[in-house]
Amino acid sequence: MEELKVKAPAKINLGLHVVSKRDDGYHNIETIFYPIKLYDILTFKKTSSFRFSSDSKELSKSSDNLIIKAKDLLEEETKLKLKVHIHLEKNIPIGGGLGGGSSDATITLISLNKFFSLKTSKERLKELAFHLGSDAPFFLNPKTSYASSRGEKLERKKLIINYPLLIINPGIHISTKWAYSIITPKTPTFNLKDLEQKNLNAPHNLSDILRNDFEEIVFKKYPAIKKLKEELNNSSALFVLMSGSGSTMFAVFENKTLAEKVMNKFKSKYFSFLQNS
């Protein structure tokens, strides 16, 4: 095998609760990871020495990104030099709460393991992924899951959004480290483990049970993100919520025509992606 091309999916959070601060400095959370059909594309080619490139200027200039860290972890694990050119076609907004970095890193682990026949076990890949990000293990098998602890304890959930889903990113990079550093944990009023398909079949009622604990602090520092949510709510969306620690919003609509109309309103100034049911 001389070349391998792989998709790395994004995710949204159907609710996100920061439950408690841990002794190790991290936080216990609960959330529902929901994969969406928005993908980065990673291409792996064998070369005489390692090289990373990307169509993202921000990432191509950096020697400190999660894809390179994933490659380095595998080299440490296997004691081999992985002579490969990794090219990233970046479609998922950076720092938007869609898990793009974690997804790219995890897909890199999986792909390099396959590309070089390293035979690293799935359990070990999960451990390595966890070193790269609390949500990274989800992308080893990105199916809708209830996540707890730091986000690495996963339980599969059979849930599907049967409505058009509009993703809007206003181009504001939110530091996850900053968000966790100032948030005040609290006890959830609704256990996300109890989310059922009947809830998703009535999206106009989701605002009664689903919340993202990061919205309050993010909206306070970045009023433009709060305004975006208000505009989406005023555009006949059935449900609107921020994903991750922001700044991406996702909105559920009654039908494709309405969702496209709203997307056309925003796409000239913001990243927009529409996933039909």
Q: Would residue 135 show up in a list of annotated catalytic residues for this protein? A: yes
Residue of 11, 71, 90, 229 marked catalytic:
11
Q: Would residue 55 show up in a list of annotated catalytic residues for this protein? A: no
Give backbone dihedrals phi and psi of 117, rounded to 5 degrees, phi first.
Answer: 50, 50
Residue of 135, 157, 213, 229 marked catalytic:
135
Q: Which of these, 240, 225, 184, 251, lies nearest to 27 by C-alpha position?
A: 184
Strands 27-46 and 3-21: antiparallel
Angstrom CA distances, 150 to 26, 96, 216, 266, stand at 7, 19, 20, 33
Q: What is the spatial distance between Cα 195 and Cα 33, in angstroms, rounded to a whole number? A: 12
Contact 248, 214 (CB under 8 A): no
Q: Which of these, 196, 217, 202, 211, lies nearest to 252 by C-alpha position?
A: 202
Angstrom CA distances, 136 to 36, 56, 119, 186, 199, stand at 15, 21, 20, 24, 27
Residues with active-site annotation: 11, 135
